[in-house]
Structure 1
Amino acid sequence: MRGFKCFEWIQKWRVRIALGFVLGVFGCTYVSGDDGDGDGPLRLTVLNVGQGLAVLLEYGGRYALYDTGPDSVGVTDSLLARGVDTLEWVLLSHYHRDHCGGFMEMLPRVHVGRLFVGSDTAVGFVRDSVFGLVRRFGIPVDTLVRGDNLALEGPRFEVLWPPEYWRVGENGASVVLRVEFGEGSALLTGDLDSARERSLLELSPTLAADLLQVPHHGSAGSSTMRFLSQLAPDFAVVGVGAHNRYGHPARSVVQKLNYVLGDSTKLYRTDLHGSVDFEIHQDLGVLKP
């Protein structure tokens, strides 16, 4: 048991060192400019991948991806069309195919420097396929838990969920990532459900975000009024497929979002608007170009 605990300690610090290294790639030396951005703003794009989620992050000419969408819509083609053939890292929030299926068709056309996963305990073909690919291509893999973060003179990526003690699979295990750059912030939530929204707020009672990736494609089982009111976002975006069989986003969720946003034009949907681009500026916060 003592040896196992020692191994756990080593693994935990290995993750933090690796995370620091990868996020360090996104850091920069601060150079004064019109809006305080040294290498320009952090660009965040919710890609149109149909009924799924893929969020592209770009800063200083380097790229990372939060979720990869399903494997049937060509997320790779979307990346290559934008001139992206190298990703510093990919983070898979959980092992549902609409969030990680694209990873299986991404290699070898896109180089991935490192893969981050959460503590999703789900087992099955999708998870096995992901890990089979990373072994084949020699991609380092690290598991993230709440508390993994690094603050630099540049973007900060902070893991808020799941806690280290959390052992459950699927939606509730989605890795929640808070992206912060100067005065602007975004919250990437994967398929977080309402029960875990409550748990997250208990752990982070002052949590706020300027931009919200709406949990679980706008499912009625997520996006409680308490959660949305606490975050008080200026913008919200739903990664969702047109005429999907789930009825996403739910009408009740759209109504809550419009109320919290105070302006229905600040709610974006990939089924209606295609890929949605945002810029996070160090001094100006989140802007919609």
Structure 2
Amino acid sequence: MAGAVLPPRAGNVLAEAWFVDIGQGDCTLVVDNASSRGLLIDCHTKDVSTVIRFIQDNQISIDTAIVTHWDRDHYGGVARIAEALPLRRVLYNHDTLFPTAGSAIGVRSTLKLFLGLERLGTRLSEAKEGAAEDIGSVTWKLLAPSHSEVTRAVVAGNRNTASAVVQVSVGAANILVGGDAVADTWRRLLSSGLAHADIVRWSHHGADLAGDSDGQVRDHILAQTAPDTVIISTGSSNRYGHPSKAVVEAASVKARVMCTQVTPACFGHLSQSGQVSSEGRQTVARLPSPACAGTVHVAITESGVLVKPDHEQLRRRIQQWPEPMCKVEP
């Protein structure tokens, strides 16, 4: 199957963002165009060499990298990028390290790598609520995790409980990147009010939020942020039944839903068991490419936000699938 493809940089824009089609994982790159300085939020190991080449070829300098939490599909590629490219600052939390014996090796080796970067001048910081910085026209701010959420993650041994949530602003435009944040984190953020977001990168690859059995938190997030676009980074052959039909349908009511890759659900395997069944997985494995929206490219100008693929391009793509969960208006 084809690997990640990153659309080229645009001209005459304030900033750009790429939500990279990197399989069952996350990789978000935001660049201030005037300075070519960038913000990296998570990156999976899959196809990370394509991301590195894109950064190098476009002479982008990664100013700041944020590891939302210690799941390999979020941190593994950040370590690879850190080996290949200079980073001014890396934010992460180390006190949610409760992996299995096998994954502990990868996390510890990444932490050692970060310590080596510090000796070369990279600044290491906690990824905690309230951290914020400007990168030219781009302002990023961490809305989560709070100190309490990191503590609860340690107590429960659940790293998603301490996942970062990142708000990225360029002028009046807002992007919300949800990491793998759980319902309790979102309840806290909802209680203090979430700003309108032009784009929401949904938590946990489009899964139902952990701890949100009736979907009320999901619906309140969508109501408060009122996004124009909901991006779901998911892999065609994932083992978890992502994305959730309930999430896609709820978001599709008022937003354009863009899944990076097609899944067995778009071929009628709607239940979680159906999505992970051998029949469902073989269906998508036979496709020449798993991409649906693929890498989503966002160009932010003084007058608005331009998203590619656009409505017509995405409509043509989902027409290939017999039973797509999303709804795209003509």
* TM-score for both structures, normalised by structure 2: 0.68
Q: Which residue of 1 aligns with 2:259?
A: 269
Q: Which residue of 1 aligns with 2:306?
A: 287
Q: Distance in 1 between matches of 2:187 and 2:73?
A: 24
| Cα contact 1:134–1:140 (8 A) shared by 2 | no
Q: Which residue of 1 aligns with 2:114?
A: 134
Are 1:205 and 2:190 an aligned pair?
Answer: no
| Cα contact 1:121–1:168 (8 A) shared by 2 | no
Q: CA deviation at 1:237?
A: 0.6
| Partner SS for 1:273 | coil
Q: CA deviation at 1:188?
A: 0.8
Q: Distance in 1 between matches of 2:64 and 2:84?
A: 15
Are 1:51 and 2:52 an aligned pair?
Answer: no
| Partner SS for 1:288 | strand
Unaligned ranges ≥5, structure 2: 1-10, 154-158, 211-216, 262-291, 309-330
Q: How much is the aligned-residue C-alpha RMSD, in angstroms?
A: 2.3
Q: Distance in 1 between matches of 2:110 and 2:221?
A: 32
* 1:66-215 correspondence to structure 2 within 5 Å: 66-69=41-44, 71=45, 73-82=46-55, 83=57, 86-118=61-93, 121-124=96-99, 125=104, 126-137=106-117, 138=119, 139-150=122-133, 154-166=137-149, 167-169=151-153, 170-202=159-191, 204-215=192-203
**Residue by residue, what CA displacement relative to the aligned partner does 1:49-77 show, whole Å, maximum 9, x if unpaired?**
110000011112122210011x2x13132
More relative contact order, 1 or 2 (CA 8 Å, 6+ apart):
1
**Residue by residue, what CA displacement relative to the aligned partner does 1:130-162 show, whole Å, maximum 9, x if unpaired?**
211112333321003222224687221111111
Q: Which residue of 2 aligns with 1:220?
A: 208
| Cα contact 1:185–1:285 (8 A) shared by 2 | no
CA shift in 2, pair 1:280/1:254, >3 Å: same
Q: Distance in 1 between matches of 2:306 and 2:12?
A: 16
* TM-score for both structures, normalised by structure 1: 0.77
| Cα contact 2:203–2:209 (8 A) shared by 1 | no
Q: CA deviation at 1:98?
A: 0.7
Are 1:42 and 2:15 an aligned pair?
Answer: yes
Q: Distance in 2 between matches of 1:278 and 1:51?
A: 21
2:303 alignment partner AA? L
Q: Distance in 2 between matches of 1:172 and 1:208?
A: 24
CA shift in 2, pair 1:120/1:224, >3 Å: farther
**Pick aligned residue for 2:239 from 245, 253, 256:** 245
- Give the number of equivalent residue pairs: 244
**Residue by residue, what CA displacement relative to the aligned partner does 1:259-288 show, whole Å, maximum 9, x if unpaired?**
131xxxx2111111211101222x323221
Q: Distance in 2 between matches of 1:186 and 1:62?
A: 17
Q: CA deviation at 1:119?
A: 6.6
**Pick aligned residue for 2:224 from 230, 234, 257:** 230
